[in-house]
Amino acid sequence: MKQGTIKNFFGNS
Amino acid sequence: MFEAKLQQGVIFKKIVDAIKDLVKSVNIDASTSGLSMQAMDSAHVALVSLKLNENGFKDYRCDRPITLGLSIENLSKILKCAGNDDTITLQTDEEEPSSLKFFFENQQASKISEFSLNLMSLDSESLGIPDTDYSSVIQMSSAEFSRICKELSSISETVEIETSKESVKFSVQGDIGAGSITVKNNQSDKDVDRVDLQIDQPVKLTFALRYLNMFNKAVSLSSTVSLNMSEENPLMVEYKIDDLGSLRFYLAPKISD
């Protein structure tokens, strides 16, 4: 498994 | 004019201590409704979100929204000069302030310290955090959660958190072996034993313990912590700060290669 990032889940507002 | 006075200045000191290993510089946004801050760690794996409501301050005034770009390390240096029983006041008169004034006052009003911190212009990258109905919400003693993470991190770098209707299981696998700690729903009167599970759907997610240990620096802000999880979503770890607001940490899970 690899580490996900916040940007994988939350888009730019 | 912006002025915010915290009766219990120690809370502000604890917040800064809790985030200073995770983020180096932040924009604090002040508006009529209070202070808010959002920042990611350099690897973009974790996100910190702080909200402090104006009602929680002893005095609060913000005539127009302003952004205060701060080095957390420098802020921490200044806050070290505040006593734990001091009130802390943040103040600036400027519309586009280049510095932020700090006043620390002890309970007897016999000692007043005044500092100014140079502000920075920071590119802010604000992410839209979706409102999520988390399918598993665990509320437990913050000290107990901290202990579990610390203990497991000596065995493995990652922890799998799996919820069921009755319990939450923290599992690790490392070079030396494997193990798990299961915490069951417990409606104890004692905060330290109490575990509230609200499980609409069980989840199973894997997280880096290094980050959870950093989040746990916030343990002194609240006796309880809530862990909010949904599949395919970052974990949201929330420390409620009495009447003042909340400090939330989001941690991206490990994902399949």
Residues of chain B contacting A12 with CB distance shorter than 8 Å: 125-128
**What confidence score (pLDDT) does residue B95 get?**
84
Give residue-wise pLDDT tens across range B2-12: 999 999 999 99
Give helix then strand counts, H and E, for chain B.
Answer: 4, 19
Chain A nearest C-alpha distance from B123 (Å): 14
Mean pLDDT over residues B13-28, rounded?
97
Question: What is the band of B194 on the pLDDT scale with cuts at 50, 70, 90?
Answer: very high
Q: A12 vs B127: CB contact, 8 Å cut-off?
A: yes
In tens, the pLDDT along B42-98 reads 999 999 999 999 999 999 999 999 999 999 999 999 999 999 999 999 999 988 899
Confidence tier at B203 by pLDDT (50, 70, 90): very high
Check the CA dihedral B29-B33-B35-B36 and report its sign.
negative
Taking 80 as the threshold, does the pLDDT of residue B125 lie above it? no
> How far is B79 from chain A, CA to nearest CA, in Å?
30
- pLDDT, chain B, mean: 96
- Residue B248 pLDDT > 50, yes or no? yes
Q: What is the pLDDT of residue A11?
A: 74
Cβ(B238)–Cβ(B5) under 8 Å?
no
pLDDT of residue B126: 78
Confirm if B163 and B203 have CB atoms less than 8 A apart. yes
Q: Does B252 contact A11 at a Cβ distance shorter than 8 Å?
A: no
Predicted pLDDT at A12: 60
List the single best residue of A1, A2, A3 to mutate versus B (max B Cβ within 10 A).
A3
Q: Which residue of A has its CA nearest to B236?
A: A6
Question: Residue range B117-130: average pLDDT?
Answer: 88
* Strand pairing class (B235-241; B245-251): antiparallel
- Measured between beta carbons, the chain B residues lying within 8 angstroms of A6 are 40, 44-47, 127, 234, 250, 252
Q: Between chains, do B127 and A6 touch, taking CB under 8 Å as contact? A: yes
Percent of chain B, pLDDT > 90?
91
Rounded CA separation B88/B74 (Å): 16
A:B CB pairs within 8 Å: 59
Is pLDDT at A13 greater than 80 in this prediction?
A: no
Which residue from B128, B129, B253 is facing A4, i.e. has the nearest CB? B253
Instruction: Indicate yes or no: CB of B257 within 8 angstroms of CB of A2.
Output: yes
Report which of B24, B36, B103, B90 is spatially closest to residue B67, judged by C-alpha positions: B36
Chain A, residues 1-13, CB within 8 A of chain B, namely 1-13
C-alpha distance from A11 to closest chain B C-alpha (Å): 6
Q: Does the interface ipTM go beyond 0.95?
A: no
Cβ separation of B128 and A7 shorter than 8 Å? no
Cβ of B219: how many Cβ atoms within 10 Å? 19
Say which of A3, A4, A13 has its CB closest to residue B127: A13
pLDDT (tens digit, 9 = 90+) per residue, B129-143? 999 999 999 999 999
